[in-house]
Structure formats: structure tokens, C-alpha cells
Amino acid sequence: MNHFEFFNLPVAYDVDLADLQQRYRKLQQALHPDRHAAGSERDKLMAVQRTAQLNDAYQTLRSPLLRAEHLLALRGVDMQHEQKTLQDPEFLMAQMEWRERVEELDVGDFAGIDAAYKDLAAQTAELQAELENLLAAEDNEEAADTIRKLKFMHKLRRELEALEDI
């Protein structure tokens, strides 16, 4: 399913999130299962399915990472359930350094955690800009590798958040 078509949006990485939200709310009202309460069982089931598709499409297009994956899937590069690992030695070294840095952080070291957040945000922003350029150039394989890198960065952010929650 093409999520861009669902919202009648051009197939592009750059999405106006306010416009997306407005379209989502209109579709949500139009497709809501309560509007089909008097219909047949088939109509009710279809309304529930369309609402689920709507929610899935909205969540996908709202997230830059999921949107990029969806865009690549539309271009024939399916990253769902893949087992491919990065072959970029520089990034693999950076991953190890990040792992060591996070492991060395103490739970109460808010200055260290804050510094890690800032460095992570800067590196994530660089990768995000790189991804935008690669998608625009339709360099799908490199874009897929950049998505893999961004997934690591997002996972690392969740780990830093978990340190704060302890």
C-alpha cells in the first residue's frame, strides 16, 4: 500500500507534517467505524480495516525514518525483516565507541548523559541530512545504509533515555 496515495500526497521524503495531520484528521472522521454502525457486517469490518490502514500510514509518514523506509520500499528496496548488516568499518568503530561511552556513564551523571545526548543529536542530524540528499538523488542502496545507521542512533537514544529513567 502506498501511504502517500492514501493521503493524496506526492511521493517525496519531504512532507509538511501540519498538512499531513490535517489530512489525517479529515480521513479519520470520514473513515471512523461509528459512521458505518448501521451498515452490514462487511461494511463495519471494512471500516475497521481502513481505519487501521489510516493509522499505520499516518504513523509511517510522520516518522522520518519510517517514511524513508517506505519510500525505499516503493522504489523496490524492502528493508522490513532484513538481516543485512552494515559493512562500513568507520561506522562500526563509531558504534563500538558509542557502546563504550554509554556503558561508562553512571546513572547519576547527568552532565555526561546530557553531553552524550548533544553529540548523538549532532551526529543524527548529519545522518538525517545525508539521507535526504541520498533519497533526492535516488541513491537507494546508500540511503538504505544510512537508514541502518540512523536506526542504531535511535536505539542508542532509547538507551540513554533508559539511563535517565533509572
Domain boundaries, the chain: 3-62, 89-165
CB atoms within 10 A of CB 75: 14
Give the pTM: 0.86
pLDDT band of residue 114 (cuts 50, 70, 90) is very high
The full DSSP string for 57-72 is HHHHHHSHHHHHHHHH
Whose cell is 524513508? That residue is 68
C-alpha cell, 87: 559493512
CATH topology of domain 3-62: Helix Hairpins (1.10.287)
CA dist list (Å): 148 to 55, 76, 137: 24, 17, 18
| Candidate CATH numbers 3.60.150.10, 1.20.1280.20, 3.40.190.100, 3.40.50.2300; the one for domain 89-165 | 1.20.1280.20
d(CA 69, CA 9): 17
Interval 83-92: pLDDT, tens: 777 788 999 9
3-37 confidence digits (pLDDT tens): 999 999 999 999 999 999 999 999 999 888 888 77
**Is residue 166's pLDDT more than 70?**
no
Helices assigned H by DSSP within 7-139: 17-31, 41-62, 64-74, 89-104, 110-136
pLDDT more than 90, % of the chain: 72
Of 59, 48, 50, the closest CA to residue 27 belongs to 50
Looking up cell 467505524, which residue turns up? 33
Three-state SS for 90?
helix
| Range from 77-91, 103-117, 147-161 carrying the lowest mean pLDDT | 77-91
